[in-house]
Amino acid sequence: MRKKFLFLVLATLLLAIVHITHAQQPGKIFRIGFLDSSTAAGGMSLLDTFRQELGKLGWNDGKTITIEYRFAELKNERLPALAADLVRLRVDLIVVPGAPPALAAKSATTTIPIVMTTVSDPVGVGLVANLARPGGNITGFSGLAPELNTKRLEILKDAVPKLVRVGLLHPPGVSKGRELQLKELRPAALALKLRMEEIETQIDAKGLESAFQTAKHKQVGAVMTTNATNFFAEKKQIVELAGKFRLPAIYFQKEFVDEGGLMSYGADFDDLYRRDLPVQQATKFEFVINLKAAKQIGLTIPPRVLERANKVIQ
- Chain-centroid distance of CA 229 in Å reads 5
**pLDDT-derived band at 19, boundaries 50, 70, 90:** low
- Domain shared by 243 and 114, yes or no: no
Please report the pLDDT score of residue 124 as a whole number: 74
- Domain shared by 175 and 294, yes or no: yes
Q: 159 or 252: whose pLDDT is higher? A: 159
CA distance 78 to 249: 31
- Domain shared by 18 and 120, yes or no: yes
**pLDDT-derived band at 93, boundaries 50, 70, 90:** confident
Predicted structure pTM score? 0.68
Task: Give 251-291 pLDDT, tens digit per residue.
Answer: 988 889 999 999 998 765 544 434 444 454 555 678 899 99
- Domain shared by 19 and 33, yes or no: yes
If one counts the domains in the chain, the total is: 2
Q: Which residues contact 80 (CB under 8 A, 6 or more apart)?
A: 104, 107, 108
Residue 304 domain boundaries: 145-313
Dihedral of alpha carbons 274, 275, 280, 283, sign = negative
Domain closes at, from 91, 108, 142: 142
- Domain shared by 94 and 172, yes or no: no
- Chain-centroid distance of CA 39 in Å reads 13
CATH of the domain at 123: 3.40.50.2300
CA distance 71 to 78: 9
- Domain shared by 43 and 119, yes or no: yes
What average pLDDT does the segment 104-123 reach? 84
**pLDDT-derived band at 168, boundaries 50, 70, 90:** very high
- Domain shared by 182 and 78, yes or no: no
Instruction: Count the helices and strands in the chain (H runs, E runs).
Output: 13, 13
Of 55, 56, 49, 57, the closest CA to residue 5 belongs to 49
Please report the pLDDT score of residue 82 as a whole number: 97
Beta bridge partners of 93: 32
Domain closes at, from 118, 142, 166: 142
- Domain shared by 160 and 291, yes or no: yes
- Domain shared by 20 and 68, yes or no: yes
Considering 23-37, 51-65, 257-271, 282-296, the range whose residues carry the highest mean pLDDT is 282-296
CA distance 290 to 127: 36
Buried b (16+ CB within 10 A) or exposed e, 146-158: bebbbbbbebbbe
- Domain shared by 236 and 172, yes or no: yes
Please report the pLDDT score of residue 271 as a whole number: 43
Domain closes at, from 100, 115, 142: 142
Of 126, 165, 125, 121, the closest CA to residue 147 belongs to 121
Whether 289 contacts 262, CB under 8 Å: yes
- Domain shared by 116 and 158, yes or no: no
- Domain shared by 137 and 150, yes or no: no
| CA angle, 162 then 167 then 171, to 5° | 160
